Amino acid sequence: MTHDFHPSSLREYDIRGIVGETLGEEDAYAIGRGFATLLRREKGKDSKVCVAVGYDGRHSSPMLEAALIQGINDAGADAKSVGLGPTPMLYYAEAIFDDVDGGIQITGSHNPANYNGFKMVFMGRPFFGEDIQLLGAMAAQGAWDDGTGSVERVDMMDQYVARIADAAPTRGYRIGWDAGNGAAGPVIEKLIKLIPGEHHTLFTNIDGDFPNHHPDPTEEKNLADLKALVAAKNLDFGLAFDGDGDRIGAIDGEGRVIWGDQLLQIFAADMLAERPGAAVIADVKASQALFDRVSDLGGIPIMWKTGHSLIKSKMKQISSPLAGEMSGHIFFADHYYGFDDALYAAVRLMRAAHNLGKDVTKLRGEMKEMINTPEMRFQVDETRKFAVIDEVLARLSADGADVNNTDGARVNTPDGWWLLRASNTQDVLVARAEASSEEGLVRLLAQIDDQLAQSGLQRGETVGH
């Protein structure tokens, strides 16, 4: 038996596709069987292997879970199903259960309702890049182990919620919570009963059609309902979550968005008071204000590649207790397990405000205001996207520009900085710019346009995620 995945489904950080078109039960089976085979070979074929499995609230998730578990079992491994819940609950299960060797979450994350996919962790480390390509090669050859395995169903949501609640401060705040009809909803409803404060919720019922708004808190238009709630109830701040609960969005009491790199400034101030000199990692899209703030606080700012799997790997490598991305992935290895968990980050925001002695609105208001663009994404042929970045880097080097090439080209100028990088998951280039003045931002965007033009491209219209 062999299986061929649709070429678009095997992404850099996960496996993802449109259900019924580029992703289906056969794919789920092949993922389970291949993943379990790799675990058995890592541990030794005679070793007992167990894979934790979870799924989000999409209509297709239970069907994919059944096929995934069948593949795990047919490779001779056991499955421990933690059921419907956010992705970090699956990560938590993988971290705490002694008999679990890896984990797979079925989730479409923040993508439209007809998408679904798989996020994986392998013996405590992210499973991505070449690992995912290996699953594809194994399936094409049918190079799987054979065997039988069992299924155990575990209800662990209360345990997970209690672990998050442990991080809450003694002081309560007046908070709005928008689950966006995603998998975080039931966790939020349980959590707010365990932590102090006054809590108001939106859309905590799971609905795979996402009838109220798209579950992506990094797009400001999706925060409209939360802004209205915070304003109507005069709340201290508001929190929003993506479809699988691993990315957080936030607004302060005045309705201002607190972007991922700004949240990281707050978390860093709290964490570095306890761990002076610690390294804080952020992706290349983050504001210079964040890196400067970490330095001012006595920390070591580390600029790293975009991508939750890449960030988690870097954290392990340098033993960093805190990391984050503009996309809203926040990673705590400080009193936690090092994975991205938006529910835990929400409670840590309460704790940071309490420890720092300032409310969230004041913390947001004290930040240095920068003039920057949102993330701009535009189409480019898959075969050209990395080549274009290479061409840009070569020209910048020849010109003697101040360039950080950690992930694409991040160019520092007297006006500020601009970034051009190739997406690892889509046929797009990603650009961003930040300046201290509107005039400076115009000059930075002109430099991006000039580099693109020299490679036969133009920015054109921004495309979606």
In this structure, is residue 306 part of a structural domain? yes
Is 338 within the bounds of a domain? yes
Say if residue 201 is in the same domain as residue 314: yes
Q: Are 148 and 282 found together in one domain?
A: no
The CATH number of the domain holding residue 424 is: 3.30.310.50
Q: What pLDDT is attached to residue 369?
A: 87
How many other CB atoms are found less than 10 A from the CB of residue 449?
A: 14
**End-to-end Cα, the chain, rounded Å:** 35
- Same domain? 376 vs 329: no
Residues near 383 by beta carbon (within 8 Å), at least 6 away in sequence: none
Q: How many helices (H) and strands (E) does the chain have?
A: 14, 21
Per the CB < 8 A criterion, the answer to whether 430 and 422 are in contact is yes
Residue keyed to tokens 């929003």: 240
Residue 357 CA to residue 351 CA, distance in Å, equals 10
pLDDT of residue 464: 42
345-385 pLDDT per residue, tens? 999 999 999 999 999 999 999 998 899 998 898 899 888 99
DSSP states along 376-388: EEEE--TTTHHHH
User: Domain boundary at 155, 183, 214, which?
Assistant: 155
313 is catalytic: no
294 found inside a domain: yes
Buried/exposed code over 164-202 (b: 16+ C-beta within 10 A; e: otherwise): bbebbbeeebbbbbbbbbbbbbbbbbbbbeebeeebbbb
The Cα–Cα gap between 203 and 12 comes to: 31
The pLDDT, as a whole number, for residue 465 is 39
Of the three residues 349, 365, 381, the one that is the final residue of a domain is 365
Looking at the structure, tell me whether residues 138 and 33 fall in a common domain. Answer: yes
Using 50 as the pLDDT threshold, list the residues of the chain that sit under it. 461-465
Which pLDDT does position 382 carry in this prediction? 84
pLDDT of residue 424: 83
Domains: count for the chain: 3
Residue range of the domain that includes 450: 371-454
In-domain check, residue 413:
yes
Question: H helices of 288-437, where?
Answer: 288-296, 308-318, 342-356, 360-365, 385-399
4 within some domain: no
Per-residue pLDDT, 361: 98
Does residue 166 contact residue 352 with C-beta atoms inside 8 Å?
no
> Considering the domain boundaries, does residue 199 fall inside one?
yes
Q: What CATH number is associated with residue 46?
A: 3.40.120.10
- Measured between alpha carbons, how far is 266 from 364 in angstroms, rounded to an integer? 8
User: Interior CA angle at 330 toward 205 and 94, to 5°?
Assistant: 75
Looking at the fold, whether 255 and 240 belong to one and the same domain comes out as yes
Is beta strand 125-126 parallel, antiparallel or unpaired with respect to 115-122?
Answer: antiparallel
Same domain assignment for residues 301 and 328: yes
403 and 356 share one domain: no
Q: Is the pTM of this model over 0.85?
A: yes
> Is residue 29 domain-resident?
yes
Both 179 and 84 in a single domain?
A: no
Cβ–Cβ under 8 Å, residues 377 and 429: yes
Residue 27: the pLDDT is 98
Are 97 and 127 found together in one domain? yes
- State whether 137 and 79 are in the same domain: yes
State which of 334, 365, 396 marks the end of a domain. 365
Distance CA 88, CA 247 (A): 10
pLDDT at 12: 86
Query: Are 144 and 116 members of one domain?
Result: yes
Among candidate residues 9, 60, 81, 109, the one labeled active-site is: 109
Query: For residue 7, is it within any domain?
Result: no
- Within 8 A by CB and 6+ apart from 442, the residues are none
Cα 370 off chain centre by: 24
Q: Does residue 304 sit in the same domain as residue 201?
A: yes
